[in-house]
Structure 1
Amino acid sequence: MSTPVSSPPCCIFCGRPFREQALPEHLLRLPGIGEKLRYVPQCDCYRKEREKEERRRREEEARRLQEEHFAELFKRSRLAPRFAKRTLSSFHPRDARQEEVLQVFSDYLCSFGEVRSKELNGIYLFGAPARGKTHLAAGLVNELLQQGVFCIYAKCAELPPSLRAHFRDGEKEKVITPLLEAELLVLDDLGAEERRDWFFDDLYRILDHRMEWLLPTVITSNLSPAEVCARYGKRIASRIERMCKILEV
């Protein structure tokens, strides 16, 4: 007696009935397997769905790796969690001068890929306290981190104590090296650090290296260029002038 023929199943995606195969009777009698072998789809919906699922899996994996990469870049950037949500678009100018400076930073972000290879590839932003200098610098870092650019945000007031502590441990280069190598370095609030002649030497080394290797540097400060020269000397002041576009806010 032959195995009774059941109605063919249909594709769950397009509804098209499956096609019955001509198979040997002994295969069709196999318990649980025979009916599965009897019919095959007439459409390619299942193949397309497998391909779609594979694309989703690859996209999800790419997103996961991108998020992990960003988390690692953010950790290495030294940007405090308080600044994690600061962006250029979240900066709200209060006057025309702030609007102009915001536009310069926005243009700098958009053209960073081209600007970074030029000699004048940095920004020196100075002005009175509470003018948004730190917000703009942190916002720039955040947005470049999203693009996969290795940035370091360093508060100048914290550099001398960190260098001194690591100098005693014989590991001063652990502090200096990332500042030399970052694709973008932000030195926030230059002039707020304790005055130490030995720090001036380290600062000159950082700026000189970055100028020679065309590595962009953004500096914020309450000091005008003339005050920078008076405090740090002509060597450091000249490096900043050769590396950075000078902006007052």
Structure 2
Amino acid sequence: MARRTRCLALACLLAVLLPVQALAYNQNRVATDESGRPLRIEGSVVVVEPDIELSLVTAGGMQEPRREWSETARRLYPVAVAAFLEAGGTARKPDFDIRDDLPPRSRLGQVVRLNEAVATSIAVYTRSGSHLATKGRRLDWTLGPGVEELRAATGADYALFTYIRDSYASDGRKAMRVFGLLAGLAMGGLVDVGGGQQLGVATLVDLRTGQVVWFNLISNQSGDLRNAEGADATVQQMLMGLPL
């Protein structure tokens, strides 16, 4: 529960950072070697249990988590990721499930928490106008040698972490949205109270060095993780630019 609360805070932060006017947004980054060439995956990948939560947006704009939807998405998303990696010829290790009772202060717990913090920093400091002086636009971030714990547990060379928050407008919210648009047009403007939104962030970490070799941040006003077709579409965007 604490882990999902932290990631919900991450999703809220991303919502603030992303362009409000954008119907779809994608920001992927690939780390480079010493000569400036993009790195490529050389080895096997483990998909860490994705942190996904789906919600219903009520007429008043509140988000109500839907357990059944979320469980469906957590089952479908890894299957779509596996198909994506296999199509790219990437070797895979069995998916790694994070124990519900994993102590936050354990080595593995610390790696998961650290990746969340680093992913947030990348989202903030790789935006235009927010680059750190010591990094510029380069993807130059690391989780440190502690990732060896995850490598020992999975046997993989890379770990793929994913966080997604997806929401869907209720019938009442859809009606409110139409009413707002019509009222705005009547007053000579445009008022959109908003509906559902899909926010996601993913990182690929080299478990031999701790380096973040790839990062992506997405935002959509469409998409549906409640069915296999929608999960495939989300994966195609979520893993765009993955250095296969």
TM-score by length of 1: 0.23
Larger Rg: 1
- Structure with the bigger RCO (C-alpha within 8 Å, sep 6+) is 2
> 1 or 2, which has the higher helix percentage?
1
> 1 or 2, which has the higher strand percentage?
2
TM-score by length of 2: 0.24
